[in-house]
Structure 1
Amino acid sequence: MPLSRFSAALVVLLAACSGAAAQDASTLKKDMIGQWELATTERSKTCVVTLKGDAAPQGFKLELEPACAAALPFTKGITAWSIKGLGDIVRLQNAAGEAVIDFTEVETGIFEGLRTNEGVYILQNLAAARSLAKSMDQMIGDWSMVRGNGQAICTLVLTNTDAGNDNFQVFVKGKCDPAITAFNPTLWRLDHGQMLLMSAKGETWQFEADDNAQWRRVPDTAAPLIMLREQ
């Protein structure tokens, strides 16, 4: 019996979707080959994973650095990796092909995976992860907050003390301008090239690095606020 126009269109649509999924899976596989950092969200525990394109039983080969088993015990069961779903899931799997942890991309080059009763883990390009870690390390310490005229109005201490949700503790040091005291920053983090200061009340101040290696509050105002590292 000949296909109806609807049935024929449906077959074409399904074939197109299947082809697109296969293309997406192939592209993702190519993009994933290389070194990645597997870590807790606050990066207190990290592990380097090298994903390879060589075939392995039910997936592709990978290598885990020796320190992985101690840092993240669940990695002991990982023997291979694969692309699952509609070509959008990166699976780290055991010898039976079962998921040890599945990752989905949340930002370009950054994947999140959840393990029940353990929490969220991040899979990120190793070079990018180490660049972020270096940037974080450079931020730790005492910073002067100054007006645009160079008048210092407060000293803040940025720490690497984890406060959850990728945030870290910040402390006010000494007396500050009433505007800073009223804001009362307690948390900070780097986010998409910006430095965020957050108050206990949930307010957020955003700063961007300018050409003078300073951090300037954005959007800019007639009375700008600038953060300078203290020597």
Structure 2
Amino acid sequence: MQFVWAFAGAILANAPALGQDAAQLKKSMVGQWELSTTERSKTCVVTLRSDATPQGLKLELEPDCAKSLPFTKDIAAWNIKGLDIVRLQTARGDSVIDFTEVESGIFEGIRSGEGVYILQNLAAARSLAKSMDQMIGDWSVVRGNGRAICSLTLTNNEAGPDNFQLFLKPRCDPLVANFKPKEWRLERGELLMFSASGEAWHFEADDNAQWRRMPDMADPLILLRQ
């Protein structure tokens, strides 16, 4: 499996760094960004520019933004508020949504009654989409000695606001069968699997392009592409 994590440092070399001041943040935000729901089922490309207008700093939204994310029809400009808030605002300067940086090049904002939205470097977002596409399909769960104990399928079928459906195949080892994973997602360098009760298993990609359950164990649990 060829897998390159979306948030590699090379991709985010030009992304803003945590702890910078407002002037640095404003400068680093100029460029193309993806505005999306947390699971990226709805996306919009936003181009932030440095040109000043009576409404704020200039921005451009791709034509289908309002169809994907209806609230974007109210966005006329952008600006930096305080030291670290990236505001997408109306022509009057009122906030449509405010973002704060949670990770280098990744910002989160909340709209009341709607939930969390993500603003991230466009190149990184597209790399993530490619990476997620590569995850779809059949996988084997194996122990450290290479013995396969279960097979499962990761799908791109939405299973809620953030997750996608996961299906176990018959004759799984009790370790996996009793956990009963139902959903999955990629989140900040990890593959997460969730049981019906909401319990999570965490997997991290290792140097051998495979996913290892964390925390690591003497007899590890490894996820391999079939």
After TM superposition, the score normalised by the length of structure 1 is 0.83
How far apart, in 2, do the equivalents of 1:138 and 1:164 lie? 21
Runs (4+) off by over 3 Å? none
Q: Of the candidates 157, 166, 170, which is equivalent to residue 170 of structure 1?
A: 166
Cross-structure match for 2:148: 152
Q: Which residue of 1 aligns with 2:78?
A: 81
Matched, 1:104 2:77: no
Q: Tell me which residue corresponds to 2:10.
A: none
Partner of 1:53: 50
Structure 1 residues not aligned, in runs of 5+: 1-22
Structure 1 CA distance for aligned equivalents of residues 117 and 216 of structure 2: 36
Match of 1:44 among 31, 41, 45: 41
Cα contact 1:42–1:164 (8 A) shared by 2: no
Equivalent pairs, count: 207
Question: Which SS does the other structure have where 1:149 is aligned?
Answer: coil
State the distance in 2 between where 1:68 and 1:205 align.
35
Alpha-carbon distance in 2 for matches of 1:192, 1:122: 13
Corresponding position: 1:201 with 2:206 = no
**Partner Cα distance (2:89, 2:199) in 1:** 41
SS in 2 for 1:164: coil
Task: Spell out the pairing of 1:183-222 with structure 2 (5 A cutoff).
Answer: 183-222=179-218
RMSD: 1.7
Contact kept, 8 Å, 1:198 with 1:204, in 2: the verdict is yes
In 2, distance between residues paired with 1:114 and 1:189? 20
Partner of 1:69: 66
1:126 correspondence with 2:122: yes
Match of 2:30 in 1: 33
Indicate conservation of the 8 Å contact 1:111/1:124, yes or no: yes
Deviation at 1:73, TM superposition (A): 2.1
Comparing 38-47 and 160-169, the one that deviates more: 160-169
More helix by proportion, 1 or 2? 1
For structure 2, which runs of at least 5 residues remain unmatched after alignment? Answer: 1-19
Q: Bigger relative contact order, structure 1 or 2, given CA contacts below 8 A and separation 6+?
A: 2
From the CA coordinates, give the structure whose radius of gyration is larger. Answer: 1
Q: Structure 1 73/202 Cα, relative in aligned 2: closer, same or farther at 3 Å? A: closer
